[in-house]
Amino acid sequence: MQRALAILTFSLLLSGCAEFSSSVTNSIDAMGMTPDYAKGMKEDLQNHKVEAPSVSVTDNVPEGKLIEHYENGNKKFETVVKNRCFDDFIDVYYPNGQLRAHTPLVNCKAQGESQGYTQDGKLRTVINYKNGLADGKSTVFDAKGNVAKTIIYKDGYPADK
């Protein structure tokens, strides 16, 4: 019974990380920031709310550093569990081991400058978060490192120009 509970807890924890990772990925994709997905991007971002979810964990998940690995041994994500949620930061990795995104967390919510990278390690995006919502300047870089797009967000939505 205890083993089944531990497996269920870990599954719920991973689904929370998957939700966070998916949210970050969807935000990057919707902003046209990831070359792999550029062909299917929506041009209308006015209805796309950029929000990073807070991920809660159950009581029996120990506090402290938490690292999950892919089957190949490379990191999948790394974070800190504090006050029953992901806190301090979350780093999400590509299966090849390269950092995909680093997002600072304060009180379990995205807060500050989140960076997104390509599979070969080039800075691709910078998104500023406030209390879990995109807020402020977000920047997309091209393959040469030049600014390709800038979007200003307020409370998760693109601000009117």
For residue 48, pLDDT over 90 is answered with: no
For residue 130, pLDDT over 60 is answered with: yes
Query: Which pLDDT score is estimated for 52?
Result: 83
Contact 9, 60 (CB under 8 A): yes
Q: What is the pLDDT of residues 1-35, one digit of tens each?
A: 333 333 333 333 444 445 555 555 555 454 444 44
Query: Which pLDDT score is estimated for 56?
Result: 84
pTM: 0.73
Q: What is the dihedral of CA 13, 93, 132, 44, to 10 degrees?
A: -120
Q: Where are the domains of the chain?
A: 2-158
| Token pair 């998940």 in the structure block, residue | 61
Query: Which pLDDT score is estimated for 159?
Result: 85
Q: What is the pLDDT of residues 92-121, one digit of tens each?
A: 999 999 999 999 999 999 999 999 999 999
What is the pLDDT averaged over residues 51-61? Answer: 83
Please give the mean pLDDT across all residues of the chain.
77
Tell me the CATH class for 2-158: alpha beta
CA distances, 134 to each of 16, 129, 141 (Å): 19, 4, 17
